[in-house]
Amino acid sequence: MGCCCSCLGIGEDSSSSTRETELSSKQQKVNSSTLAIARHMSAPGIRIRGATVSGEGLALAGVTIEQDAAYWEWHITKPGDTPPDEDNDDDDYDEEIHAVKFGVSTKKDKAFYRALKSAADSGTDESTPMEDGTALMRPIPQLRDGDTIGIAVQHSDLPMVQFLLNGEPLHEIAINRFRGAVYPSIYLPGGNGDGQGGVSENTKGGGGGVVEGDISATVVFDENDFRELSPHSRFGPLIAARGII
């Protein structure tokens, strides 16, 4: 005498397995979409190609940092890189002013960037780091091709942002105490390459690629692709707990 699949519970198990697979697939899509640079939260002068950014301005990833301790990296590409002139003190000063900034930032939108542009166009642009979105970021000058910038953020105990250059901690620029929701961010100054940086004609909608001579940075959230170790085992890879809609 035969027995139907429903009597044996085969149909229910199959249906449950299908639902779990669908939920897992949806979660992976959420993670891949939020753990990336957010076009709508980045400056118009930023060029985005996958996880790589170049151009000019502020760029934010599309997920807040909600876990107690998180770590991610920026991998630097600098075409035509040449060693800095160690005997020229003026180069150090110039590099500090025009250095790429790393860290975190509060949420930004198109209105924020329109206000910055309006101030610049009117000749009254004397923005402080708090006003231009880089208050929780720090410049790291004299970047070289192949450098790795590690960012470690902790919320528990004393909220802090730590910076590492090729695995070595930069204690002197660590940020102590911050409040509110923050997002992984990077700031690329204009003309950051060999005189060929700045805003491209092909930046609308995040189009275009890396312009020859530009410094570009690739954000890495997957621990399998990390080049260096985090400062402590409690710093895990960033988790997309809540994305931006």
pLDDT mean over 194-202 = 37
Looking at residue 244, its pLDDT comes to: 46
**pLDDT value of position 176:** 92
Nearest Cα neighbor of 105 from 209, 183, 16 is: 183
Q: How far, in Å, CA of 24 to CA of 153, rounded?
A: 27
Question: Is pLDDT above 90 for 199?
Answer: no
Which segment of 24-28, 58-62, 118-122, 142-146 scores lowest on mean pLDDT? 24-28
Collapsing DSSP to helix, strand or coil, 58 comes out as strand
Residue of 236, 199, 230, 195 lying closest to 98 (CA atoms): 195
pLDDT at 22: 46
Mean pLDDT of 171-188: 94
Instruction: Please say if the pLDDT value at position 112 is more than 90.
Output: yes
The encoded tokens of residue 83 equal 């060693």
* Local structure of 117: helix, strand or coil: helix
What does the pLDDT average to over 118-143?
Answer: 83
Calpha distance 106→41 (Å, rounded) = 10
DSSP class of residue 22? H
Q: Cite the beta strand spans of the chain per DSSP E.
A: 46-49, 52-55, 57-60, 69-77, 100-105, 137-140, 148-154, 160-165, 168-169, 175-176, 183-188, 216-220, 236-237
DSSP state of 92: H
Nearest Cα to 57, choosing from 206, 164, 181, 160? 206
User: 163 with 170: CB under 8 angstroms?
Assistant: yes
Q: How far is CA 178 from CA 28, 143, 182, 225, in A?
A: 30, 26, 9, 28
- Least reliable range by pLDDT among 139-148, 210-219, 225-234: 210-219
The pLDDT of residue 24: 43
With 60 as the cut, is the pLDDT of residue 206 above it?
no
| Average pLDDT taken over every residue of the chain | 79
pTM of the complete model: 0.76
